[in-house]
């Protein structure tokens, strides 16, 4: 659309120049024809004809000047229109450039805000992950501590059971030894008594 308007403005300017040249040529040609016609007329009326020609020439010049002035006004108006079209075309180009730059600025702002938002969310995620790792580590330490406590209790119980069992075994050993000693002592005493009785007889 703007290119067509620009071409139209250029065409108007070219037409204006051609029309101005044509009008000048037509005026000169018309004046030349009038002069030739008057020159070929009766020489007897030369003074009158010359006076007439001067008046005619003046009228032609005035008409040509009037037409030239009118044409200049028309062409000036056309030139102003062409300048206005070019100005509007440039304004439209500037507006389109401005809109394009504005859209680019909005796009960059959105990308920047999205980047800031993503960084904020990433920071939140890292903080949450750090907190989760801390909680998991604390939980694992707590579970290990509980497990060690359970293992310690089990070890203490095993040691106590072992000591009780060892004490029981020792007691049973001593008890058995005591019984054997008592049995041997009784047997020895009985044998001694029998020998003493035998000796007395």
Residue 188's nearest CA partner among 199, 180, 198 is 180
Q: Does residue 110 fall inside a structural domain? A: no
* 180 belongs to a structural domain: no
Task: Name the helix (H) or strand (E) containing 172.
Answer: helix 46-200
CA distances from 20 to 7, 34, 84, 94 (A): 20, 21, 22, 34
14, part of any domain:
yes
Q: pTM of the full predicted structure?
A: 0.32
Tens of pLDDT along the chain (201 residues)? Answer: 567 666 766 766 777 777 776 777 677 677 777 666 666 655 555 666 566 667 777 767 767 766 767 777 776 777 777 777 777 878 788 788 888 778 877 887 888 787 888 788 888 888 888 887 888 888 888 888 888 888 878 777 878 887 887 888 887 888 887 888 888 778 878 877 777 776 766
- Domain count along the chain: 1
Residue 25 lies in a domain: yes
Please give the Cα distance from 82 to 80 (Å, whole number). Answer: 5
Domain that holds residue 53: 2-99
In a domain, 186, yes or no: no
Q: Is residue 39 part of a domain?
A: yes
Question: Is residue 52 a part of any domain in this protein?
Answer: yes
């Amino acid at each position: 659309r703007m290119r067509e308007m620009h071409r139209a403005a250029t065409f108007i300017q070219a037409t204006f120049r051609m029309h101005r040249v044509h009008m000048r040529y037509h005026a000169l040609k018309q004046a030349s024809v009038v002069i030739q016609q008057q020159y070929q007329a009766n020489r007897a009326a030369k003074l009158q004809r010359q006076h007439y020609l001067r008046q005619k020439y003046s009228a032609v010049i005035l008409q040509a000047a009037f037409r030239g002035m009118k044409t200049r006004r028309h062409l000036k108006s056309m030139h102003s229109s062409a300048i206005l079209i070019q100005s509007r075309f440039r304004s439209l180009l500037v507006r389109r450039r401005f809109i394009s730059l504005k859209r680019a600025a909005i796009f960059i702002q959105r990308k920047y805000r999205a980047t800031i938002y993503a960084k904020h969310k990433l920071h939140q995620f890292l903080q949450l992950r750090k907190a989760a790792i801390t909680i998991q580590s604390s939980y694992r330490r707590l579970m290990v501590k509980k497990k060690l406590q359970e293992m310690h209790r089990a070890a203490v119980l095993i040691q106590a059971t072992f000591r009780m069992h060892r004490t029981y075994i020792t007691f049973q050993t001593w008890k058995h030894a005591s019984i054997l000693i008592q049995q041997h002592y009784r047997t020895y005493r009985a044998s001694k008594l029998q020998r003493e009785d035998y000796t007395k007889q």
